Chain A
Amino acid sequence: MKSSHFRIIVGVIVLGFISINSARAQESILKKFAKSKTEKQYTFYASTLRMLDISKDKNLHEFVNDVEKVNIFLFDSITIIDQSYSELSDMYSSEGFDEYMSMQGGKFAYIAGKEKGKEMEVVGVFGQKDFAMGVYLVGSIPLQKIPKLIEMIKKMELIDLLDLDF
C-alpha cells in the first residue's frame, strides 16, 4: 500500500471519529442537562413514530423513515419553576447550531439545528408556566419537513406550546 493511500485512509477514519464524537457531544448537552432534571424521558425511532402518528398522514410516514432517533425529555417541576432550561439555547448556539425559532416572555421556545451533509440534528426546548420539555432529533430529514415533524410531536398530546395566537 502506498504511503499516500495509507494517510488518506487514516485521515478518513480520524475524521469519522471526530464527526461521531461531535454528534454525540451535541446530543449529550441536552442529555447531561436533563440527567438530574427529568421526570420522564422518551426515545422514539422511525417505527415508533409511525405508530404514534394519530393523523395517519402518508407524507409524514415517508419522511419519518429518515428519522434516526428522537429523544424527548419532560423536565421536572423545579426546572419548570427556575426556567434553567432556557440556558440550553446559549449552549447550543455556542456549538454552532443555527437558530430556527425562538420565543421569550411567558412561554419559552427554542428550535435550532445543524446540518452535516444529509444528516440533520435538531434540538427543541419548550417551556411554559406548568410544563417544560427538550427534544433532540437526528436523521436525514429535509429541513422544510422539520416543522411538520415538530407538529406531529405536538399532536402526540404531550404539549401544546407553540400557540402564538396572542
Chain B
Amino acid sequence: MKKLLIIMVAVMGMNVAMAQGSIVEKYFKELSGNDDYTKVSVSSKMFSLFTELESGSEAEKEFLSAVSKLKGLKIIASDSTPTSRKMYDKALKDVKAAGYEELMSVMDAEEDMQFSIKEKGGKIEELIMVVGGREKFVLMSLYGEIDLKNISKIARAMKVGGLENLELLDEK
C-alpha cells in the first residue's frame, strides 16, 4: 500500500513537472531546426547573465530577490516570419485549450499581445506572453513561483528582447 502511494505521488510529481512550460516545450519541438525562430531556455540561476547590474549593488540584490522563487524562462521569438499572424492565433488557441487564464491583452496597429497565467493553490506558477506583429512572433513562458509585483523589476533589469512587454503588467 505504502509503495503504491509512493508510486502515485511520483507519477503526480512527473505530471506537474511535464505541465510546466509544456506549451512552450511543444513549440520548441515543433520549431527545432527552424532557424527563423530563436529558442532560448534560461534557468533562474543564469538570469543575471542577461543584466547589466553592478556586482554586489543594491539593484542586483533586489533583482536576485525578485527572481529567487522563479525556476526559469523559455522564449521562442522571430522578427522575420511571414506566418506570424497564423502562429499568434495558433498559440492563443493552444494557451486557452491548456487551461491558462487570460490576464491582459493589448491590441494596436503594430502588434497584439496577450498575457495568461496558470495558478495553483492561489499561487501563479506560470506566466505566458504571446506577441504577434506583422512579421514578429514571441511566445514566452516564465515559470516558478511568480509574484506579479516583481515582474516589471525583472523585465527592466533583463536585457532580453520581448521581455520589456512585461512592464505593461505594472500598468494594470
Main secondary structure of the interface of A (DSSP, over half): mixed
Query: Inside 8 A of B36's CB, which chain A residues have their CB?
Result: 105
| A 135-166 to B, binary, CB cutoff 8 A, 1 in contact else 0 | 00000000110111011000000000010111
Segment at the interface with A among B8-16, B48-56, B146-154: B48-56
Q: Find out whether the CB atom of A101 lies under 8 angstroms from the CB atom of B46.
A: yes
| Residue A57 lies at the interface, judged by CB distance under 8 Å to chain B | yes
| A 92-129 to B, binary, CB cutoff 8 A, 1 in contact else 0 | 00000011111111110001000000000000000000
Chain B nearest CB from A78 CB (Å) reads 19
Q: Find out whether the CB atom of A105 lies under 8 angstroms from the CB atom of B35.
A: yes
Q: Find out whether the CB atom of A166 lies under 8 angstroms from the CB atom of B77.
A: yes
Query: Inside 8 A of B41's CB, which chain A residues have their CB?
Result: 99, 101-103
| Residue B38 lies at the interface, judged by CB distance under 8 Å to chain A | yes
State in angstroms the CA–CA spacing of A98 and B72 once bound together: 13
Chain A nearest CB from B156 CB (Å) reads 14
Q: Chain A: residues with CB nearer than 8 A to chain B?
A: 57, 59-60, 98-107, 111, 143-144, 146-148, 150-151, 162, 164-166
CB-contact partner of B46 in A60, A104, A111, A165, under 8 A: A111
Q: Chain B: residues with CB nearer than 8 A to chain A?
A: 31-32, 34-43, 45-50, 55-56, 64, 77, 79, 159-162
Query: Inside 8 A of B159's CB, which chain A residues have their CB?
Result: 164-165
State in angstroms the CA–CA spacing of A148 and B53 once bound together: 10
Query: Inside 8 A of A166's CB, which chain B residues have their CB?
Result: 38, 77, 79, 161-162
State in angstroms the CA–CA spacing of A60 and B64 once bound together: 17
Q: Find out whether the CB atom of A105 lies under 8 angstroms from the CB atom of B39.
A: yes
7 smallest CB-CB distances across A and B, nearest first, come from A147-B49, A105-B38, A59-B55, A166-B161, A101-B46, A100-B46, A147-B48
Q: Find out whether the CB atom of A162 lies under 8 angstroms from the CB atom of B39.
A: no
Query: Inside 8 A of B35's CB, which chain A residues have their CB?
Result: 105-106
Query: Inside 8 A of B31's CB, which chain A residues have their CB?
Result: 105
Chain A residue with Cβ nearest B42:
A101
Q: Find out whether the CB atom of B49 lies under 8 angstroms from the CB atom of A150.
A: yes
State in angstroms the CA–CA spacing of A164 and B159 once bound together: 7
Chain B nearest CB from A110 CB (Å) reads 10
